[in-house]
Amino acid sequence: MYELNENFSKFPGGYLFALVREKTLEYKRKNPQADIISLGVGDVTRPLAPAVVDALQKATAEQADAKTFRGYGPYAGYEFLREAICEKDFASRNVKIKPDEVFVNDGAKSDAGGISELFGKNNAVAVCDPTYPVYVDSNVLAGRAGIYSKEQNGYSDIVYLSCTKENGFLPQIPQEGQKVPSLIYLCFPNNPTGVMISKAKLQEWVDYAYENKSVILYDAAYVSFIESDDAPHTIYECDHAKECAIEMRSYSKTAGFTGLRLGYTVIPKELERNGLNLNEMWMRRLGVRYNGAPYIIQRAAEAIYTPEGEAQVKEQIQYYKQNTKTILTKLKGMGIEAFGGKDAPYVWMKTPNHMTSWEFFDFLLDKANVIGTPGSGFGSSGEGYFRLTGFGTKEQTLEALNRMTKIL
């Protein structure tokens, strides 16, 4: 008799972005003439930077020559990239991270989903509400989430840190007497609300995790969008973070690698629990699961750390930031409350006329042929909100907002 992973049956439905895609395709089937603009999933639209394309071509030529061909690479990534990461992403912020603390992967989602394999089944997990669904869904599969309740739009065993307008969309530290989570997922700049946390506030979370022996899983995928002065660019700017935090980064949004796939995870050597070293455990896990990211793509990522590459990807970020500004200004003009968008590519808007998030999704798709992401898909506190992304083209973004202005 077969036994399957019964945790699959605990999902109430499909993966959020797959659902959005399905609904869009269904609409398109019924309305083949519709000119749909997507400001939904955070997929980039600018082509790769010339320095990146150059590096890809050079590395491809190396792979075509017997003298320079490379097969399996190091599990955790090539030294050239890990060193560039340590210098440019961390030393530049006065943070000392060593190359053997950096694990290059095929995009941050793989590790955001896989990182929980380091931990036992009975650990309590805390997530922000709303949150990037991968943190919850991967813990559902691992059997840590408990039972889903439709009324509460959440799982019995997950600790939801409600992020609302009243608390500035920032998670509040559990009070004395409340359950102490062993694993705490934080994402800043935040997906989906687009808000950023100050260094002082992040330090409070690090202090909490350090004192309670929790581990923070810090997703910094959108770090390149930060413009606020007091914003931490890595959690390791906080004291003691190396003893209680893992950080995940992505090249998807930083350099338009959503199609190339590359990211990395930092696990400091200081991070130990129950006498075990998490850096060594992750290395052991890589041996089982992974043969390293493609050489060609790692060379492409290295190119963004060169002066030309750096300037080119900065320009891309500025392009998306301009879109986000357009969205914020236009929504304001419509009298709609909107948040985020300053340090992140996402704008978190209140749905008009008390529509639920999915009602507004259907309304906007039908009346304006514009796609966004329903806030309730990110958690119960997201109900009544809607996420728009700045990753569209300038023209599409303007057109989408003009269409919205006409119907709202």
Q: Which residues contact ligand MLT by CB under 6 A?
A: 17, 41-42, 109, 132, 191
Amino acid symbol at 354: H
- Distance of alpha carbon 78 from alpha carbon 163, whole angstroms: 39
Question: How many residues are listed for the chain in this entry?
Answer: 408
* Identity of the residue, 191 or 234, whose beta carbon is nearer to ligand MLT in the bound complex: 191
DSSP string, 17-58: HHHHHHHHHHHHHH-TT---EE-SS----SPPPHHHHHHHHH
Residue nearest to ligand MLT (CB): 42
Q: CB–CB of 327/347 below 8 Å?
A: yes
**Degrees to nearest 5, angle at CA 127 with 155 and 361:** 75
* Identity of the residue, 182 or 252, whose beta carbon is nearer to ligand MLT in the bound complex: 252
* Residue 180: CB minimum distance to ligand MLT, A: 28
* Identity of the residue, 132 or 386, whose beta carbon is nearer to ligand MLT in the bound complex: 132
- Distance of alpha carbon 344 from alpha carbon 194, whole angstroms: 5
Amino acid symbol at 85: I
* Residue 9: CB minimum distance to ligand MLT, A: 23
Closest CA to 17 of 387, 399, 401: 387
* Identity of the residue, 174 or 340, whose beta carbon is nearer to ligand MLT in the bound complex: 340
* Identity of the residue, 13 or 275, whose beta carbon is nearer to ligand MLT in the bound complex: 13
* Identity of the residue, 42 or 268, whose beta carbon is nearer to ligand MLT in the bound complex: 42
* Residue 18: CB minimum distance to ligand MLT, A: 11
* Residue 236: CB minimum distance to ligand MLT, A: 22
Q: Calculate the CA dihedral of residues 52, 53, 54, 59 and round it to 10 degrees.
A: 90
* Residue 65: CB minimum distance to ligand MLT, A: 35
* Residue 133: CB minimum distance to ligand MLT, A: 8
